[in-house]
């Protein structure tokens, strides 16, 4: 920074009435060095130094013009902003300044704070912290089409990850941009906080969503979740995210009406960011390692928050070992949601058996202990259980009992259906789901007795286990 070690320094701009007002004062101050932010010819009565690049203003953290500073031995020892005759006289040690001027006038905002320069200044001051490869798009290329052509899209338009946008995204976390978050399958590539931020920009996230995306990436890239296996199977499931804790409300996630649908930016983009990390960093692309025979629209991105405030039970994250009040994500394998309607049951026993019938169809009604599932219980159904004093454990036990399958019903050939369990393999009633293979979440609108089943994939070893991670700032 080219600033004198000793003496007075003033930072001004022509587009400031107060700076114009104090020009005669500037001309009369001995040993003064003036830097001008917008017009190198201003002030006319003083030979000013050009700071239209704002390097000196940024280095001095100038927020208002005019700013008058004193330096002694290379150290700033005094500063005043705007025009105040007493303050300027004290700082300069010169009396009788500007006798024809009003005693006080407020200054104007420094150009370093102008919104039109915000991105440029952000990149200039922090751009060196970015290490991702830069891609130049020519003037004749359509930006959106260029991103499609480079294969960075999931089939929908994405937001161009310019340096300024990535830097703003990184402001959403205190974590170092170079920190390795996870090793992303299937290509087993290390992904840093910066690379996750790039994909969060592509997905349309806001900076405050980034900690949730980072936690989801950490969870999805564990051996337990087995994202590689979930990609490689010809079954159509993909990763889904349930968010718990204060962060869900802080970032405006939807846990109520249309919680599993469109219309909420956080819900729509957080899951998409995870999928783009898997695609763009890990190489998990349809037609490549992603071998789904059908897939489902939620593979673009699937995330929602649990309605904790209206729930009769502890949050899902707490049931999975996270302390109450701590923000967390749970990533699980998910098909598309399928609605379950029961508008008549008013006892918990009847409603549990009714919901169990809907769960029976996960994978196939004759497949025991195969696929996991998540049951999203709507508020009107939850009230039936709450009024009866049923806990989450009570509902889980009732569902498990109702979902004990008779070998005679699931054996091959039963019901005239060749699909099923081989003859003689089962000796007694068998559970539909493995232990821990059915998660229960509370979400949805306040009206409508419609819960939802989200089928999963093979559970446990060799398949995918839901993984919960705390959200770190």
Structural domain boundaries in the chain: 7-113, 221-267+277-470
**Contact present, 328 and 245 (Cβ < 8 Å):** yes
Rounded to an integer, what distance in angstroms lies between the CA atom of residue 344 and that of residue 207?
44
Angstrom CA distances, 413 to 164, 211, 368, stand at 62, 51, 15
Provide the CATH topology of domain 7-113.
Answer: Glutaredoxin (3.40.30)
**Contact present, 376 and 337 (Cβ < 8 Å):** yes
pTM of the predicted model, to two decimals?
0.87
The predicted pLDDT at position 121 comes to 82
The predicted pLDDT at position 288 comes to 93
The predicted pLDDT at position 204 comes to 98
The predicted pLDDT at position 1 comes to 59
Rounded to an integer, what distance in angstroms lies between the CA atom of residue 343 and that of residue 351?
9
- DSSP β-ladder status, 49-50 and 64-65: unpaired
Closest Cα to residue 450, out of 399, 388, 401, 382?
382
Rounded to an integer, what distance in angstroms lies between the CA atom of residue 284 and that of residue 290?
6
The predicted pLDDT at position 428 comes to 87
* 3-state secondary structure string across the chain: CCCCCCEEEEEECCCCHHHHHCHHHHHCCCCEEEEECCCCCCCCCCCCEECCCCHHHHHCCCCEECEEEEEECCEEEEEEECEEHHHHHHHHCCCCCCCCCCCEECCEECHHHCHHHHHHHHHHHHHHHCCCCCCCCCCCCCHHHHHHHCCCCCCCCCCCCCHHHHHHHHCCCCCCCCCEEEEECCCCEEEEHHHHHHHHHHHCCCHHHHHHHHHHHHHHCCCCCCHHHHHHCCCCCEEEEEEECHHHHHCCCCCCCCCCCCCCHHHHHHHHHHHHHHHHCCCCCECCCECCCCCCHHHHCCEEECCCCCCCCCCHHHHCCCCCCCCEEEEEEECCEEEEECCCCCCHHHHHHHHHHHHCCCCCCCCCCCEEEEEEECHHHHHHHHHCCCCHHHHHHHHHHHCEECHHHHECCHHHCCCCECCCCCCCCEECCCCCCEEEEECCCCCCCEEEEEEEEEECCCCECCEEEECCC
What's the average pLDDT block by block, 10 residues per block, for the chain (473 residues)?
88 97 95 95 93 92 97 96 97 95 96 86 83 87 91 95 96 97 97 98 98 98 97 96 98 97 97 98 94 96 97 97 98 97 97 98 95 98 97 96 95 95 90 96 96 96 95 97
pLDDT tens by residue, 251-283: 999 999 999 999 999 999 999 999 999 999 999
The predicted pLDDT at position 177 comes to 96
The predicted pLDDT at position 118 comes to 83
Q: What does the block give as tokens for 360?
A: 């029976």
Q: What does the block give as tokens for 371?
A: 């696929």
**Contact present, 215 and 328 (Cβ < 8 Å):** yes
């Amino acid at each position: 920074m080219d600033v004198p070690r000793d003496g007075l320094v003033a930072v001004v701009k022509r587009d400031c009435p107060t700076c114009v007002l104090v020009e005669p004062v500037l001309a009369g101050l001995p040993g003064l060095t003036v830097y001008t932010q917008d017009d190198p010819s201003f002030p006319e009565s003083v030979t000013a130094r050009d700071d239209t690049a704002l390097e000196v203003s940024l280095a001095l953290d100038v927020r208002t013009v005019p700013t008058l500073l004193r330096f002694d031995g290379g150290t700033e020892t005094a500063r005043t902003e705007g025009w105040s005759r007493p303050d300027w006289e004290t700082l300069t040690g010169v009396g009788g300044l500007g006798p024809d001027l009003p005693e006080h006038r407020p200054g104007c905002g420094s150009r370093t704070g102008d919104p039109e320069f915000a991105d440029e200044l952000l990149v200039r001051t922090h751009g060196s912290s970015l290490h991702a490869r830069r891609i130049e798009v020519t003037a004749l290329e359509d930006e959106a089409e260029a991103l499609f052509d480079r294969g960075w899209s999931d089939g929908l338009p994405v937001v161009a990850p310019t340096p300024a946008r990535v830097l703003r995204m990184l402001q959403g976390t205190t974590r170092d941009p170079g920190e390795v978050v996870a090793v992303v399958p299937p290509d087993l590539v290390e992904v840093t906080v910066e690379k996750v931020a790039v994909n969060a920009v592509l997905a349309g996230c806001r900076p405050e969503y980034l900690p949730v995306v980072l936690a989801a990436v950490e969870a999805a890239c564990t051996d337990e979740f087995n994202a590689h296996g979930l990609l490689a199977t010809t079954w159509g499931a993909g990763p889904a995210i349930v968010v718990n804790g204060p962060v869900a409300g802080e970032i405006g996630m939807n846990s109520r009406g249309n919680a599993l649908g469109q219309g909420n930016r956080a819900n729509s983009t957080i899951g998409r960011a995870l999928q783009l990390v898997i695609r763009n960093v890990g190489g998990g692309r349809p037609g490549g390692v992603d071998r789904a025979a059908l897939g489902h629209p939620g593979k673009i991105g699937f995330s929602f928050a649990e309605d904790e405030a209206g729930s009769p039970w502890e949050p899902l994250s707490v049931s999975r070992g996270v302390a109450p009040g701590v923000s967390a994500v749970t990533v699980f394998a998910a098909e598309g949601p399928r609605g379950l309607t029961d508008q008549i049951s008013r006892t918990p026993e009847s409603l549990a058996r009714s919901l169990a019938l809907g769960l029976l169809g996960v994978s196939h009604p004759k497949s025991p202990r195969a696929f996991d599932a998540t049951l999203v219980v709507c508020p009107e159904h939850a009230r039936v259980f709450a009024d009866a004093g049923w806990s989450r454990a009570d509902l889980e036990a009732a569902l498990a009992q109702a979902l004990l399958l008779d070998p005679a019903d699931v054996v091959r050939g039963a019901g005239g259906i060749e699909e099923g369990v081989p003859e003689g393999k089962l000796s007694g009633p068998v559970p539909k789901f493995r232990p821990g293979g059915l998660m229960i979440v509370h979400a949805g609108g306040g009206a409508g007795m419609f819960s939802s089943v989200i089928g999963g994939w093979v559970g446990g070893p060799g398949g995918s286990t839901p993984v919960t991670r705390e959200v770190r700032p």
